[in-house]
Amino acid sequence: MVTRIVQMTFEPENIPSFERIFEANKESIRAFPGCMYLELLRDGSNPGVFFTYSRWESESALEAYRNSDFFREVWGRTRLLFAEKPRAWTLDRID
């Protein structure tokens, strides 16, 4: 199992657009083969900073998602809203 954390920073005026994109697509992401869990988090001190926290059955399941047409379409719309370059971590579970 792998955990994926993605940090995204948005301009204040783009936050509602991002929230609409996430809301419209979250169940499809959760239903993607290999996705075990997905949640959206917001930084408590900076409302323009969001994190997605997801768990995947394997690195190959995550890569299949990241290489899918669905991901390219959703990410393509999301990245237009960024105020900063996103940061991402793929982590292996130790315990």
Reported as a single tens digit per residue, the pLDDT across 24-70 is 999 999 999 999 999 999 999 999 999 999 999 999 999 999 999 99
pTM for this predicted structure: 0.93
Band the pLDDT of 85: cuts 50, 70, 90: very high
CB 9 within 8 A of CB 84: yes
Of the candidates 61, 41, 36, the one whose C-alpha atom is nearest the C-alpha of residue 53 is 41
Report the number of distinct structural domains present in the chain: 1
CA distance 31 to 33: 6
Q: What is the CATH number of the domain that holds 59?
A: 3.30.70.100
Q: What is the mean pLDDT of the chain?
A: 97
Domain that holds residue 56: 2-92
Give me the half-sphere count of Cα atoms (radius 13 Å) on the Cβ side of residue 1: 9
- Say whether 50 sits in a helix, a strand or coil: strand
